[in-house]
């Protein structure tokens, strides 16, 4: 029984890193961090390098570590919202590794992250009920909040994937068999 070499959760392609040793691995990570910092200087998003973020998509067979946080925030309905895209480097099952990312959503009335937009929108509705904020007004604006969060998530995802594409080789699954064996092909 075979197993796919790469575990990708959110990335649209398989962004393969294949370092020959620990020095090359560290060099790839440092170059990625520099690329994120360079784009951050344009004002497109904020970036904080951080290797210690707890990851929700890590599997025992595919150990992973964060590279940092790509984020943007905005104020809405009297709350501050943050959208985080967390770039991740994940070990391959047999060899090499791949780049991926996770999402986290925050609002200023709650300190723990939300994993998806539906969760944070539901929490905002409950928050507004608890504090007697005009529910009619909330119902009108909640769809705008959801749209804004989705647009920001898509924008940050595109920025992260563009950096991945410039930094490493991009692959797609070309065939996958019932025994788990997977073939990959390089995207031109």
Residue 5 included in any domain: no
Residue 182 included in any domain: no
Residue 1 included in any domain: no
Q: Which backbone phi and psi does 150 adopt, to 5 degrees?
A: -65, -40
Helix (H, G, I), strand (E, B) or coil at 7: coil
Residue 92 included in any domain: yes
* H-only helix segments in 56-134: 117-130
Cα separations in angstroms, 188 against 53, 92, 162, 185: 33, 22, 15, 9
In 3D space, the residue among 6, 111, 98, 101 whose CA is nearest the CA of residue 56 turns out to be: 101
Residue 4 included in any domain: no
In 3D space, the residue among 160, 174, 163, 164 whose CA is nearest the CA of residue 16 turns out to be: 164
Residue 181 included in any domain: no
Residue 46 included in any domain: yes
The answer to whether residues 154 and 45 touch, using CB atoms and an 8 Å cutoff, is no
Residue 185 included in any domain: no
The domain tally of the chain equals 1
pTM for this model (two decimals): 0.89
What domain range includes position 161?
14-172
Is the torsion defined by CA of 172, 177, 178, 182 positive or negative?
negative
Per-residue pLDDT of the chain (188 residues; tens, 9 = 90+): 467 889 899 999 999 999 888 899 999 999 999 999 999 999 989 999 998 888 888 888 888 999 999 999 999 878 899 999 999 999 988 889 999 999 999 999 888 999 899 999 999 888 887 776 777 777 788 889 999 999 999 999 999 999 999 999 999 999 999 888 899 999 97
């Amino acid at each position: 029984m075979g197993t796919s070499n790469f575990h990708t959760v959110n990335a649209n392609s398989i962004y393969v890193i294949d370092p020959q040793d620990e020095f090359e691995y560290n060099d790839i990570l440092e170059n990625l961090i520099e690329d994120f910092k360079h784009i951050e200087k344009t004002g497109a998003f904020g970036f904080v390098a951080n290797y210690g973020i707890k990851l929700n998509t890590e599997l025992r067979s595919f150990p992973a570590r964060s590279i940092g946080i790509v984020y943007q925030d905005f104020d809405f309905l009297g709350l501050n919202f943050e959208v985080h895209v967390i770039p991740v480097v994940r070990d391959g099952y047999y060899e090499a590794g791949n780049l991926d990312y996770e999402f986290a959503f925050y609002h200023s009335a709650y300190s723990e992250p939300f994993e998806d937009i539906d969760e944070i929108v539901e929490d905002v509705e409950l928050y507004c009920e608890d504090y007697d904020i005009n529910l009619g007004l909330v119902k009108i604006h909640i769809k705008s909040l959801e749209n804004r969060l989705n647009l920001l998530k898509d924008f940050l995802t595109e920025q992260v994937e563009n950096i991945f594409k410039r930094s490493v080789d991009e692959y797609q699954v070309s065939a996958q068999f019932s025994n788990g064996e997977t073939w990959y092909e390089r995207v031109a």
